[in-house]
Amino acid sequence: MVAALVGRCSPIAGLLLCASLVAIGCANCESTADGDAGFDGSAVDATAAEIGPGDAWQRECNSNSDCAAPTSVCDTIKGLCVECLVLGDCVSQPGAVCSLGACICPTPGETWCAADLCVDLQAGSEHCGRCGHPCYGSCREGHCADPWEPISGEGAPEARSSHTAVWTGSEMVVWGGANRNCDACNLNTGGRYDPATDSWRPVSQVNAPSPRRFATAIWTGSEMIVWGGRHDGSALDTGGRYDPASDTWLLLPATSGLAGRYWHTAVWTGTAMIVWGGTIGYGYLADGASYDPATDQWTAIPTADLGRRHHSAVWLDRAMLIYGGQGNDGGNADAYLPSAAVIGGWSYTPSTQVWAPLPAVGQPSGRAFHTALVLGDEMVVWGGYDGVSTLGTGSVYSAAGWRAIAEPQPPARYMHSAVVLDDPPQLVIWGGLFWSVDVDSGGAFDLATDSWTRLPVAPAGRHDHTAVSTGTAMIIWGGENTTGMLGDGAIYVPR
C-alpha cells in the first residue's frame, strides 16, 4: 500500500506545535484468510485498497446509503464516499487505523498511533491531526474546524472552582479553590499545563499555603504570588510565593495588621503586589497593602473612598485603577457602585501615595462581578450584575475620560472570564452566568474598530472558572455549573 504522510502545525503560545503522522504499508496488519476485507466483510483487491480518498472512484454522497463497498461511509463535510471516518469503520481490518478516509496499517515500530486509536483527518472529533487530539466540532484536513479545542485531562488537577491561575510565559499554573460547595472543602493543590505538549504536571505541596478559595494570584515574571482567601469561615491573611523553575514555595511574612480578606483585588506594579478592598465575611474593607518580593516586606497604603468587594482593579500608567463593586453608600448597605452618592472608580499612585477619583461623567452604571482589563493604554470595563439585572454593557476609560462601547455587544453575563490577546489587540470574554444559567458563549472586542466578534460555542458553560492569555490564545479551566465542579479546560486560538 502507498505511504501516507500528514503534517499538522498550530500556533499556540508563540510556539509551533507540530505532529507528523506517518503510516506505511499494511503488510504487517493482522489480516483475514482471504486478504483485506471491505466493510461488508468481502475481499477487496490491492488496487482498490491503495487508492486514497479523493480519487476518481469516489462518489458524491449525502448519507451512507449513497455509498457502496469498499467506500461505504459518507464524509458529509466533503460529500464523498470514503472507507472510514472512525476506527470502528476499520474493524474488519485488524490493526488498521483510519487516516484520510482510508483504513491503513502502521508498520512495526511506528509510534505515531497505537492500534486501538484512530487518526481521522476529515470529520471525526476524537483524533484530529494526531492520535488522541480531539476537537469540539469537526476535523477538516487535519485541523479542528472550530477555534476552540479541549485540552488534555490526563494528569490535570482535581476538579474545582474559585481557584487562581496565572500564565508564566510557557505554562498555566492553577492553584487552590474548592472541590465541593462546603466552606471547608478547599484545596492547596495545583497543576501546571503546557500547551506546547498538551500535558500537565503537579505543583508541589511542600511548604504551600493552606487550603483556600477566593484568593488572588499575580505573576511577577518569575514567581506566582498567592494571598488571602477564605477557608472554613475564616478570612485569611496568609499567602505564598511559588517558583515554577524550582517547583518550590516560600511563605509570605505576616501583613503587620492588615486584616485577612477575600473578594479583594491584587495587581502587579512591576516591582510590588498591591492588595486592596474585599471583605472579612461581613462589611466592606477600605484598606490595603503593598508587598515587595525583593525585600519580603509589606507596606500599608492609605485608605480611600468607602470599602468595596467584588470590584475590579488593573495597573495602568503607573497607577492602580479600581472600579465598581458592592459597598455601603450610607443609604444602602449593599449598593452596587457607582450609586447616587458614590462615584464608580478611583486611581491610586504608589509613588505619591495619592488617591484620586476617576471622572464620573460617562462612567459605567453600577455593577459587581464584572471584568476590567487593560487593552492598549485604556481600561475596558464590561458585564456584571447590578442587583436587578445581568449586564451586557461596558465602557472604555483613558486619559481622555470614559466612552461607552458600541453596540451590538455579547449576551449579558457576570462571573465570567476575560483576557487580552496581542495580535490583533483584543479583549476576549467567555462564560459566566446569566441569572442562574451558565453561559457557553463569548465575544472578542477589537479596540481599533470598537466592535465585537462573537466566539463560537464550544466548551460547556460555567462560572467561577479561570482564564489566562498566552498572548496568542485563551486557556480556560475548571469552574462549576449545574453538573458540579469541573476539571476540564479548553484553548481558544483565533483563526
Q: What is the pLDDT of residues 79-104, one digit of tens each?
A: 899 888 877 888 777 667 777 788 87
| Phi (first) and psi of residue 87, to 5 degrees | -60, -35
Same domain for 265 and 134: no
Question: Residue 21's pLDDT is what?
Answer: 29
Question: Residue 142's pLDDT is what?
Answer: 65
Domain assignment present for residue 267? The answer is: yes
Whether residue 106 is preceded by a cis peptide bond, meaning omega within 30 degrees of 0, is no
Indicate the number of domains in the chain: 2
User: pLDDT at residue 467 above 90?
Assistant: yes
Q: How confident is the model at residue 31 (pLDDT cuts 50, 70, 90)?
A: very low
Domain assignment present for residue 65? The answer is: no
Residue count of the chain: 495
Count of helix runs (H) and strand runs (E) in the chain: 1, 44
Same domain for 223 and 98: no
Domain assignment present for residue 436? The answer is: yes
Domain assignment present for residue 196? The answer is: yes
User: pLDDT at residue 5 above 90?
Assistant: no
| Assigned C-alpha cell, 216 | 488572588
User: pLDDT at residue 218 above 90?
Assistant: yes
Same domain for 140 and 25: yes
Cα separation of 337 and 383, whole Å? 13
Domain assignment present for residue 159? The answer is: no
Specify the CATH number for the domain of residue 238: 2.120.10.80
Domain assignment present for residue 73? The answer is: no
Same domain for 242 and 370: yes
| Phi (first) and psi of residue 152, to 5 degrees | -60, 140
Range with the poorest average pLDDT among 128-142, 239-253, 309-323, 448-462: 128-142
Summarize the confidence of residues 287-302 as an average pLDDT. Answer: 97
Same domain for 198 and 108: no
User: pLDDT at residue 51 above 60?
Assistant: no
Question: Residue 171's pLDDT is what?
Answer: 98
Same domain for 254 and 134: no
Tell me the pLDDT of the chain averaged across its residues: 84
| Assigned C-alpha cell, 370 | 464584572
Summarize the confidence of residues 411-416 as an average pLDDT. Answer: 98
* Tens digit of each residue's pLDDT (9 = 90 or more) over 295-339: 999 999 998 778 999 999 999 999 999 999 999 988 888 999 999
Domain assignment present for residue 75? The answer is: no
Summarize the confidence of residues 207-218 as an average pLDDT. Answer: 98
Bridge pairing between strands 489-492 and 484-485: unpaired
Summarize the confidence of residues 337-365 as an average pLDDT. Answer: 95
Give the residue from 145, 179, 196 where a domain finishes: 145
Asked whether 439 and 391 are in contact (CB, 8 A), the reply is no
Same domain for 196 and 125: no
Comparing CA positions, the residue from 385, 396, 457 lying closest to residue 425 is 396
Question: Residue 120's pLDDT is what?
Answer: 56
Question: Residue 95's pLDDT is what?
Answer: 66
Percent helix, strand and coil across the chain, each to the nearest 5: 0, 40, 60
Same domain for 117 and 221: no
> Helix H segments across 36-139?
46-49
Same domain for 174 and 123: no
Torsional sign, CA 201, 203, 206, 212: negative
Question: Residue 126's pLDDT is what?
Answer: 74
Same domain for 208 and 290: yes
Q: How confident is the model at residue 76 (pLDDT cuts 50, 70, 90)?
A: confident
Range with the poorest average pLDDT among 15-19, 113-117, 456-460, 489-493: 15-19
Torsional sign, CA 145, 151, 152, 153: negative
Residue 351 CB-density burial (10 A; 0-12 exposed, 13-18 middle, 19+ buried) = exposed
Same domain for 172 and 124: no
Percent of the chain's residues with pLDDT above 90: 66
Name residue, grid cell 495587581.
Answer: 267
Question: Residue 44's pLDDT is what?
Answer: 28
Same domain for 267 and 302: yes
What is the model's pTM? Answer: 0.80
Question: Residue 107's pLDDT is what?
Answer: 53
Percent of the chain's residues with pLDDT above 70: 83
Domain assignment present for residue 70? The answer is: no
Supply the range of the domain harboring residue 206.
164-492
Cα separation of 151 and 148, whole Å? 10
Q: How confident is the model at residue 162 (pLDDT cuts 50, 70, 90)?
A: very high
Summarize the confidence of residues 30-42 as an average pLDDT. Answer: 28
